């Protein structure tokens, strides 16, 4: 990435419209190439590819769980009388409990679990922090 806008003033024209990352060269966070690489661990394409494949597995696995949960509702309604007739929580049926609150709780749990796992994968596979404790890394993610 070429920091074409580095040092530009509000009045100076750009040779081409810069990306947001390039703009940041003039902001508080510098663009990628503005820093010396002496004390930095850069991601190699091979490392990123391996991390990408692991992240893709995590995303697909959780997405399948999500799809099964959402698709299960009409299937249960059609096939299981208990789903709409039983009373399980304050006189509410299991189907009503799911649509009125349970599914949102499940969505949040899926989100938290996926975010922790993704953070753990990234901290293990990228940036040379292989010794970092998984739990502490995941905990830091959700702070």
Partner 1 sequence: MTSTAVVTLAAVLIIVLGVSFISRPRGPSTVDFYLAGQRVGVMTNSWAICGDYLSAASFLGVAAAVYVSGLDGAWYAVGFAAGFVPVLLLIAAPLRRFGEFSLADFLGRRMDSDPVRLASVGVVQLVILCYLVPQSVGGGITWELLVGQGLLGLSPYATGVLLSTAVVAVVVAFGGMRGTTWNQAVQFLLLFAALVWLAVVVTADGFRYGEAVQSLSEAPLANPTLGGADGQEWTLTEETNHMHPGEPALFGEPGARYGPLGQVALVVTLGLGTAGLPHVMNRYFTSPTGKAARTTTVWVLVLIGAFYAMAIMLGAAARDIIPDAVAGRPWLQELTVDGVLHTPEHALPVLGRIYGEQTGLGLIAAAALIAAMSTVAGLLLASAATWGHDVYERHINPRATQRQAVWAGRITTLLGAALAAGLAIALRPEAFAPAMPSLVATMVTWAFAVAGSALTPVLVLAIWWHRTTAAGSLAGLLTGATLSVSMFMTAGLIEADWLRELLAAPTLVVAPITVAVVVLVSLRTRAPDGVQAHWVRMHGTAADRRAERMARLTRGGVDAR
Residues 46-75 that bind partner 1 (CB under 8 A): 47-49, 51-52, 55-56, 58-59, 62-63, 66, 70-71, 73-75
- Separation CA 11–CA 7 (nearest Å): 11
Residue with smaller CB distance to partner 1, 21 or 134: 21
6 binds partner 1 (CB under 8 A): no
Report angle CA 97, 103, 109 to the nearest 5 degrees: 130
- Residues in binding contact with partner 1, number by CB under 8 A: 76
- Separation CA 102–CA 106 (nearest Å): 6
User: Binding partner 1 by CB under 8 A: which of 7, 29, 130, 131?
Assistant: 29
- Separation CA 9–CA 52 (nearest Å): 38
User: Binding partner 1 by CB under 8 A: which of 2, 82, 111, 135?
Assistant: 111
17 binds partner 1 (CB under 8 A): yes
- Tokens 């901290």 -> residue: 123
- Separation CA 103–CA 22 (nearest Å): 41
33 binds partner 1 (CB under 8 A): no
User: Binding partner 1 by CB under 8 A: which of 7, 36, 90, 131?
Assistant: 90
User: Binding partner 1 by CB under 8 A: which of 7, 20, 38, 130?
Assistant: 20
96 binds partner 1 (CB under 8 A): yes
Using alpha carbons, list the distances in angstroms from residue 21 to 10, 18, 41, 76: 17, 8, 19, 48
């Amino acid at each position: 990435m070429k920091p074409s806008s580095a040092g530009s003033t509000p009045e100076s024209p750009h040779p081409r419209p810069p990306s947001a990352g390039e703009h940041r060269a003039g902001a508080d966070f510098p663009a990628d190439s503005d820093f010396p690489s002496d004390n930095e661990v850069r991601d190699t394409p091979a490392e990123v590819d391996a991390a990408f494949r692991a992240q893709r597995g995590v995303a697909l696995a959780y997405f399948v769980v999500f799809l099964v949960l959402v698709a299960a509702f009409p299937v249960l309604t059609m096939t299981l009388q208990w789903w709409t007739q039983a009373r399980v929580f304050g006189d509410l049926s299991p189907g009503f409990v799911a649509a009125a609150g349970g599914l949102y709780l499940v969505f949040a749990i899926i989100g938290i679990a996926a975010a922790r796992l993704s953070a753990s994968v990234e901290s293990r596979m990228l940036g040379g922090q292989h010794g970092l404790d998984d739990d502490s890394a995941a905990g830091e993610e959700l702070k």
